[in-house]
Amino acid sequence: MLNDKIVNNWLADKAAIRPLSRAIISKQATLSYHELLKRSLDTAGYLKSKGITRGDNVGIIFSHNFEFFTILNALWFLGAVPVPLNTRNTTDELLEQIKLAGIKHLVIDEHYNKSFKSINFPDVFYYSQPLVDIYSMSGSIPVEIYRHKYSNTALIMFTSGSSGKPKAVVHTFSSLHASVMLTDSFVHFTHDDILSASLPFYHIGGFMILIRGLVSGAPVAFPESLKFDDLCSSLTEQNPTIISIVPTTLLRFNENNILPNKNLRIAFIGGGPASDDIILKAAENGWPAAKVYGSTETCSMVTVLPTEEIVKRTDCAGKPLMEVKLRIRCGGQVKNDKLRIHHDGQVKNEELRIKSPSLFKEYFNDSKLTHIKIKGGYYSTGDFGWIDDDGYLYIESRREDIVISGGENISIKEIEEIILENEYVEDTCVIPLEDKTWGQIVCAVVQFKDGSGAGEQELKEFLSAKMSPYKLPKKISILDKIPRNEMGKIKRKELLDLILSKQHNT
């Protein structure tokens, strides 16, 4: 069985078979698989000297460069579990995740020395490549490459939680490998491909770019950073064949008339809703766009809409990849056995469930939520949609507990709870608003207490001290009273009418 199979190590295998082939392309260095193997082994010895050992959960706060890749491989050599952490989080948010994921050690890029120096954690050290080089030259601790089973935990990655608390998603080597195979069934990777590391590694979409390169043998090209200008430069200088971007980046490509590089054969578009205008304009400009749908729990993409289908089905999320099965549940019932439902516009609360060999194993230390979300091998996504007679998936509304803004999942409940900590706030409601640039933005509707004298600016200052900048509401609407029914639920239509009326009158 696949789950019992021993994996020597993906990097060690590639270094043995194709030692001189390129593994990494960047301005700092171009490394062969043999060179990446040696660098990763030296790093493993360095991390071992810091006390990291088999089974340890290790948090990584790192810049977007190839050293993240060496640390990842080094941790796997030691049998440790990497836990990439969002560099945009506040110190308090990071400390919460460190506790939740049972992190024993924290590796921080020296670039973030000042940003996170206030982290009160006993086993934190700042990673500097020169220190690793000096260490390896002085005689490193020998490292015996740990051989993994496919069922071993390979990754813990955080995603937004409906409760306002982050969820730690556990993936195995089996689910990572299966995800690459699913993508390969559509892409057909070759050694001539160049994969652009165009998304952050603390999100599953960016992390899986590294794993696709490692498993397929295609080199990974690292832009100087994820800033827009550096992404544009990487298109011409590194000439990737496959790139993954969020709709916001695609919009900026359109607005700045950035055309695809000559070797680009696929541009995956995911991480949030993309408007028809953005997709159609990109197609006119020659972008070989393929829309994808997936999540942290599904280990990235599970459906794809090919380039040639986008113009005809711009509002579609695509067809399931090989071995992926989709179900629509209405009121707890599966609609039919064929897993194909024609949309008639009448059925509501159609929740999408997914079965895939790439599904996550569990939520770390949360068996209750795991059993709620996975039943009968199917994962309940919280997204709502329908499947047509040809097997194409349509997402009518994303889950109501998050706002997807610029590729980031932002918990609505988390923002509401923080707003309510303000002593002058009587009531609040956070909703997503459609936005051309960001896909969606966070809109905070606030009712202040009578006579408080508080206003929008005071609230912004309060929130800025409490949360990461990317979570801050881009719009704050102040109402005399937030409309709720007798059960306390928001009257959403009435709320939206009040917001629109307020906008019209200002």
- Encode pLDDT of 238-249 as tens digits: 999 999 998 889
pTM (2 d.p.) = 0.82
Mean pLDDT of 321-337: 69
CATH number of 2-397: 3.40.50.12780
Tokens of 398: 């994303």
pLDDT bracket for residue 501 (50, 70, 90) = confident
pLDDT of 412 reads 85
pLDDT at 209 over 90: yes
Looking at the chain, the domain(s) classified CATH 3.30.300.30 span 402-505
pLDDT bracket for residue 345 (50, 70, 90) = very low
pLDDT of 128 reads 76
pLDDT of 504 reads 58
Mean pLDDT of 419-441: 86
pLDDT bracket for residue 335 (50, 70, 90) = very low
Helix 204-216 / helix 173-187 crossing angle, nearest 10 deg: 80
CA count, 13 A, side-chain hemisphere, 364: 25
pLDDT bracket for residue 38 (50, 70, 90) = very high
SS (HEC) of 246-291: CHHHHHHHHHCCCCCCCCCCEEEECCCCCCHHHHHHHHHCCCCEEE
pLDDT at 137 over 90: no
Residue 72's nearest CA partner among 46, 506, 204, 81 is: 81
Mean pLDDT of 251-274: 91
Looking at the chain, the domain(s) classified CATH 3.40.50.12780 span 2-397
Residue 253's nearest CA partner among 271, 235, 273 is: 235
pLDDT of 486 reads 53
CA dihedral angle for residue 141, residue 145, residue 151, residue 155, rounded to 10 degrees: 50
pLDDT at 435 over 80: yes
Higher-confidence position of 111 and 292: 292
Mean pLDDT of 65-86: 95
Mean pLDDT of 433-446: 86
What are the tens digits of pLDDT across the range 77-125?
999 999 999 998 888 889 889 999 999 999 998 888 777 776 777 677 7
pLDDT bracket for residue 493 (50, 70, 90) = confident
Mean pLDDT of 456-463: 91
How far is 318 from 336, CA to CA, in rounded Å?
A: 20
Tokens of 181: 């195979």
pLDDT of 432 reads 85
Domain 402-505 classification at class level: alpha beta
How far is 267 from 198, CA to CA, in rounded Å?
A: 11
pLDDT at 212 over 80: yes
pLDDT of 503 reads 67
pLDDT at 334 over 80: no
Share of the chain above pLDDT 90, in %: 53
How far is 288 from 187, CA to CA, in rounded Å?
A: 12
pLDDT at 336 over 60: no
